[in-house]
């Protein structure tokens, strides 16, 4: 049985005060986290240090939303894996479609970041997903294949199962239009098949594959009930303690 992992990607939301309020709301409800469910909060960089202090002793992990692949140096505006670790991060989102589309991140860049995250001891949450145009053209599997192969190039077998794959169809992100449980499950099954081909069936079986894209309290149960859907990467609904915790609880049943 793979454990469920529910991560909240806050994106560019919540200043310092807003972060304290949201985290305190989550801490109040932390007793509701079901056994065997890992909860990961990914606030903006500016709120990680305060989150680390507030979450002391609370069973919720922290993650960054992005990182650079170098350790340090003249990279204005960037954050390293070591810096994320120094404020308590154990996860990092890599290759989110917003990074790919708005900031021009390529599969090659995603690959460099994934390798650095793994070697630094962080668990990368690697995002893949097709656009609406690609889905309508019937090339979803090809797109996922290229993104996954690109992200995992030269990632050794003994490290890969620490990575999480997040299937986030671009057309479902922030649109209120989630993939149906069957649509998502088909792609998750395909991702597991690909992992089996790249590595081994043992690795494929161990790897956590999350779904992301308009996950809400009212659709989470149906999505998370599917055999190959091992968690969720939640955007909008993670900005309210009640809705995020409803999704966390839905992952257990
Ligand atoms: P929404 O849940 O707001 O659609 O965002 C999903 C997402 O991009 C999480 O990384």
Task: Supply the DSSP string of 120-131, one letter for each residue.
Answer: HT-EEEEEE---
> Active site includes 96?
yes
Residue 215 near ligand 1, beta carbon < 6 Å = yes
* Given 98, 134, 168, 246, the catalytic residue: 168
CA–centroid distance, residue 128 to ligand 1 (Å): 12
Pocket test for ligand 1, best of 5, 130, 176, 214 (most atoms within 8 A of CB): 214
Q: Which atom of ligand 1 is nearest to the CA of 238?
A: 2
Give the CA-trace dihedral at 29, 31, 36, 37, to 10 degrees. Answer: 10
As a 3-state breakdown, the chain gives helix, strand, coil percent values, each rounded to 5, of: 50, 15, 35
pLDDT tens, position by position, 85-115: 999 999 999 999 999 999 999 999 999 999 9
Structure tokens at 73: 């140096």
> H/E/C letters for each residue in 69-110?
CCCCCCCCCCCCHHHHHHCCEEEEEECCHHHHHHHCCCHHHH
Considering the entire predicted model, what is its pTM?
Answer: 0.98
Structure tokens at 12: 């560019």
Residue 168 near ligand 1, beta carbon < 6 Å = yes
Give the residue, by CA position, lying nearest to ligand 1 atom 5.
235
CA–centroid distance, residue 99 to ligand 1 (Å): 13
Stretch (H or E) spanning 233: strand 231-234
Q: Are strands 164-167 and 61-64 parallel, antiparallel or unpaired?
A: unpaired
Question: For the chain, what is the radius of gyration of the CA atoms?
Answer: 17
Q: State the CB neighbour count (10 A cutoff) for residue 106.
A: 11
Structure tokens at 32: 């509701």
Give the CA-trace dihedral at 230, 214, 81, 204, to 10 degrees. Answer: 30
How confident is the model at residue 203, as a pLDDT?
96
pLDDT tens, position by position, 30-65: 999 999 999 999 999 999 999 999 999 999 999 999
Spell out, as residue ranges, where the chain has pLDDT lower than 50: none
How confident is the model at residue 253, as a pLDDT?
66
Tell me how far the alpha carbon of residue 111 is from its chain's centroid.
Answer: 15
DSSP 143-180: HHHHHHHHHHTT--HHHHTTSEEEE--GGGTTSS-PPP
CA–centroid distance, residue 59 to ligand 1 (Å): 23
* Given 96, 105, 134, 188, the catalytic residue: 96
């Amino acid at each position: 049985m793979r454990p469920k992992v529910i991560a909240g990607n806050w994106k560019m939301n919540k200043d310092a005060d807003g972060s304290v309020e949201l985290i305190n709301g989550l801490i109040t409800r932390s007793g509701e986290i079901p056994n065997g469910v890992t909860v990961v909060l990914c606030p903006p960089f500016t709120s990680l240090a305060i989150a680390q202090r507030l979450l002391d002793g609370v069973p919720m992990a922290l993650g960054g939303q992005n990182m650079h692949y170098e350790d340090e140096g003249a990279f204005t505006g960037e954050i390293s894996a070591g810096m994320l670790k120094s404020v308590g991060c154990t996860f990092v989102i890599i290759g989110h479609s917003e990074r790919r589309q708005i900031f021009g991140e390529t599969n090659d860049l995603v690959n460099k970041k994934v390798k650095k995250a793994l070697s630094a001891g962080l668990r990368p949450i690697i995002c893949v997903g097709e656009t609406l145009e690609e889905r309508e053209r019937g090339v979803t599997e090809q797109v996922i294949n290229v993104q996954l192969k690109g992200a995992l190039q030269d990632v050794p077998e003994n490290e890969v199962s620490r990575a999480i794959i997040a299937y986030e169809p671009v057309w479902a992100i922030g649109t209120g239009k989630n993939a149906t449980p069957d649509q998502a499950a088909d792609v998750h099954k395909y991702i597991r098949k690909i992992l089996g081909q790249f590595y081994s069936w043992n690795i494929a079986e161990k790897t956590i594959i999350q779904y992301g894209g308009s996950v809400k309290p009212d659709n989470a149960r149906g999505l998370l009930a599917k055999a190959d859907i091992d968690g969720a990467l939640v955007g909008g609904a993670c900005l309210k303690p009640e809705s995020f915790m409803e999704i966390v609880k839905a992952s257990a049943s």
